Amino acid sequence: MAGDRLVYVLPQELMAGRREEEIDLLGLAATLWRRKWMISIITGVFVVIAVIYSLLATEWYRAEVVLMPAKDGGAAGIAGRLSGLAALAGIDIGSSSSNDGLAVLKSRAIAESFIEELGLLPILYSEQWDPEAKRWRSNAPDEQPDMRDAVQYFDKTIRTVSEDPAMGTITVAIQWTDPELAASWANAFVSHVNEHMRLRALSEAEANVTYLKTALSETSVLTLQEAISRIMESEMQKLMLARGNDEFAFRVIDRAVVPKQRFKPHRTLIVLLAAVLGGMLASFVVLIRYLAEIQKSSVRPGGY
């Protein structure tokens, strides 16, 4: 009928359950309010510990070098255009790309050669090194760090390489406890990579020229002679570029400068996290005690 209304009647058990839930929530809120001083004290202890830790923790600094892959212009262009002719002659002239350079920047081999060149092993593990005796403090070989340990430490903690595809730039970051050393190492690392790739390209180009000269003297086919001569010309250009270019693989856009602000620890964040964790732990302790009191009251004579 039009005037009829449907009336839903909730079971008494459900209504009672809702009332008990409301009572429990109200009781919990009241307990938290009563125990606010205990919650504040526990939270305060966490905050004090966090402040002490953040003030005593070692400060790290981050120095960055912004790079752009170098364009070796004519030599690379000629090599690319002559790749088909090189294939006809049975010669692989090779290529160098920015991906190769990026892989070198991240490689363990370049980290090892850089650590060895600058003699960084005693600096990275200064606490285990005796500068006066110039030896490790421990005589046990298992307790003395070696190059494998240094490379792993350098790769995971000190060196960071990131790429910005939109801008076409690469950022090399060095993190260390001394800001001046961080900036110095960052610039030196980029120079080391450029020199490494320059010498490698120089060696490859010289080997290619030697091979091409031999191939040119052994063939009498005019087409192959012309192809080999053009390829040899491109390799000679590579030699000239490698011999006279310090920024062979990467062009430095921004050199690293000595950082003024520490990179870590993030003291404000540490204190805030400690306050949140302390408050949560204190509230959890109050909740456990509240549930224990309810359980005790329920088992008493006349309890529910």
The lowest-confidence range among 22-31, 131-140, 277-286 is 22-31
What is the rounded average pLDDT for all residues in the chain?
Answer: 80
pLDDT surpassing 50 at residue 220: yes
Q: State the pLDDT at residue 215.
A: 79
**pLDDT tens track for 3-24:** 555 555 445 544 444 444 444 6
What distance in Å separates the CA atoms of residue 125 and residue 136, rounded to the nearest whole number? 9
The pLDDT-based confidence of 206 (bands split at 50, 70, 90) is confident
Q: What percent of the chain has pLDDT over 70?
A: 79
The pLDDT-based confidence of 72 (bands split at 50, 70, 90) is low
pLDDT surpassing 90 at residue 218: no
Beta bridge partners of 130: 135
The pTM assigned to this predicted structure is 0.71
Question: What amino acid occupies position 48?
Answer: V
Q: State the pLDDT at residue 16.
A: 45
Q: What is the mean pLDDT of residues 103-124?
A: 94
CA-closest candidate to residue 119, choices 144, 88, 150, 93: 150
Give whole-number Cα distances, 168 to 30, 75, 286, in Å. 59, 21, 55
Domains contained in the chain, CATH given: 12-57+283-299 (no CATH), 61-254 (3.30.1890)
Burial class (CB in 10 A: 0-12, 13-18, 19+), 32: middle
**pLDDT tens track for 126-140:** 999 999 988 999 888
pLDDT surpassing 60 at residue 97: no
Q: Where are the alpha helices (DSSP H) in 170-263?
A: 179-218, 222-243
